[in-house]
Amino acid sequence: MNSSDSRAPLAGLKVVEFAALGPAPFCTMLLADFGADVIRIDKPGADVYSPANVVFRGRPSVELDLKTPEGIEAALRIVDKADILIEGFRPGVMERLGLGPEVVQVRNPRIVYGRMTGWGQTGPRAREPGHDINYIGLVGALHSIGTEASPVIPTNLVGDFGGGALYLAFGILAAVLDAQQTGRGHVIDCAMVDGVASLMTMVYGWLSTGYWLDSRCSNSVDGGSHFYNVYECACGKWLAVGAVEPKFYAELLRGMDLDPAQFPQRERSRWPELRAEFARVFKRRTRQEWLEIFAGKEACVTPVHSMREAMEDPHVRSRGIFGTRQGVPQPMPAPRLSGYTVAEPAGVSMAGEGGAAALARWGLDPDSIIHA
């Protein structure tokens, strides 16, 4: 990662990533974005990489055949030098390879061993296959997202990346801080079902009090209310309305030219009726006309941009939220640290690319590793 500052926040941390798909590489990307020194271990001839596969940005690759004793021993020599190991296989895979925590932590007691799965290392489903949709379905998140008629799939952001990668990154950094004090690493059992349930902490709290109803489109922020919803305009484009607080709701009604007495905010029984009326009103004008009406007003009204529209939005452009590398537009690292500014996104290394230099930087003989 190219930075305009001399030292990145995670500079000096050495990470070994056993290449996988989904949330594990996204977690590794986050660490690499902030300066961690990552070596990705790929199987020989891996062909999943391209400049557009940006979650693999910022780390060189070493190809190792983990089906051979020589490949396993070479991997262990790299792991011996690492502070962090990240793997995203089903439970038992690393153990069968001879790379499980019981082997690795004997050789390197301070290593933080990060394990990313959907179901977790234990439990009756632990060895079952699954994907984001299955994990968020099991813990109630998918049930709460959608219309009255059916759940709606929120892409794979909630399980893979929200409940998975971000929680693994948090767990890794917490464990690293502890290892620096104690000299002892941790094994992190990061399960997407755990993380997604944690993301829903506030909602489950509300459920216990009766404030949250256990049915879709019945609550203030799940599409049930008229003041927190999306509305189609005359042009076929959409607006996002989030006027939760009374003062913002009052400003919203003024912009829509509606009588507050006819549109009570908190009468839940009337929400379906008021949603329908809001939909009729918003359909009378184009999105641009509504944006001009609400410009400078504190009504919490914004466009629902397509992804391509989002990259051209003035606010997005002013903050430099997107950059380009290898011809591929992509989000810049987040969050922002006052003492660390990333000048541009890092590139994606192909399998085997840059590995020799990385091994030498770690004090290892590249020839003895790469030709194992």
Which residues participate in catalysis according to the annotation?
A: 131, 160
Q: Directed axis angle between helix 166-182 and helix 23-33, to 10°?
A: 60
| Residue 33 CB coordination number (10 Å) | 22
Rg (CA), the chain: 24
SS3 of 67-83: the string is CCHHHHHHHHHHHHCCC
| Strand boundaries in the chain, DSSP class E | 2-3, 14-18, 37-42, 61-63, 84-87, 112-117, 187-191, 228-232, 238-242, 301-303, 322-325, 328-331, 342-344
Helix (H/G/I), strand (E/B), else coil: 172: helix
The CA distance from 334 to 355, in Å, is 26
CA 182 and chain centroid, separation: 30
DSSP symbols for 185-205: --EEEEEHHHHHHHHTHHHHH
